[in-house]
């Protein structure tokens, strides 16, 4: 049996219709993939926006904290400078105290030595006075 030309046409129409349907279905699948991909990209963009905002807030917080820390550091540096001055004054006063204590101890030793010498001299004066009084008494007695 030979196909008739109408049969050929019908068969060609069916093939053409099938191809059109497959083409439409393929295009719609492509659109669906593109829509899905677009939605994924939008979601990713939204996440990145949120991440950016979070990072900016964290950066602002770090800058504020850095400013506070720098202020505290400056205050501490000022206190350290003041304390260095106080430490120098304290060390100078310790040195002066040590010097004055040495001078005091030296004067004390000299005073003790002077007292001993004075006591010895007083003993000589008394001995000399008692001896000359005897001589005077003896000379009056003669």
Q: What is the pLDDT of residues 90-136, one digit of tens each?
A: 999 999 999 999 999 999 999 999 999 999 999 999 988 887 655 55
What is the rounded distance in angstroms from the CA atom of residue 109 to the CA atom of residue 117? 12
Nearest 5°: phi and psi at 21? -60, -45
Residue with tokens 């060609």: 12
CA nearest to 100, candidates 89, 92, 111, 114: 92
Q: What is the pLDDT of residues 36-72, one digit of tens each?
A: 888 999 999 999 999 999 999 999 999 999 999 999 9
Query: Global pTM?
Result: 0.44
Q: Give Cα 69 to chain centroid, integer Å.
A: 8
| Whole-Å CA distances, 43 to 25, 74, 75 | 27, 46, 48
Contacts of 3 (CB under 8 A, 6+ apart): 11
């Amino acid at each position: 049996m030979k196909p008739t030309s109408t049969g050929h046409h019908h068969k060609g129409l069916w093939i053409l219709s099938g191809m059109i349907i497959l083409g439409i279905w393929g295009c719609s699948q492509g659109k669906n993939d593109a829509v899905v991909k677009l939605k994924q990209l939008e979601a990713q963009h939204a996440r990145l926006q949120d991440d950016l905002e979070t990072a900016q807030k964290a950066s602002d917080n770090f800058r504020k904290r850095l400013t506070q820390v720098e202020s505290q550091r400056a205050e501490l540096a000022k206190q350290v400078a003041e304390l260095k001055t106080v430490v120098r004054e304290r060390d100078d006063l310790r040195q002066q105290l040590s010097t004055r204590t040495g001078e005091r101890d030296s004067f004390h030793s000299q005073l003790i030595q002077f007292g001993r010498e004075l006591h010895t001299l007083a003993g000589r004066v008394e001995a000399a006075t008692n001896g000359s009084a005897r001589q005077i008494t003896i000379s009056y007695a003669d």
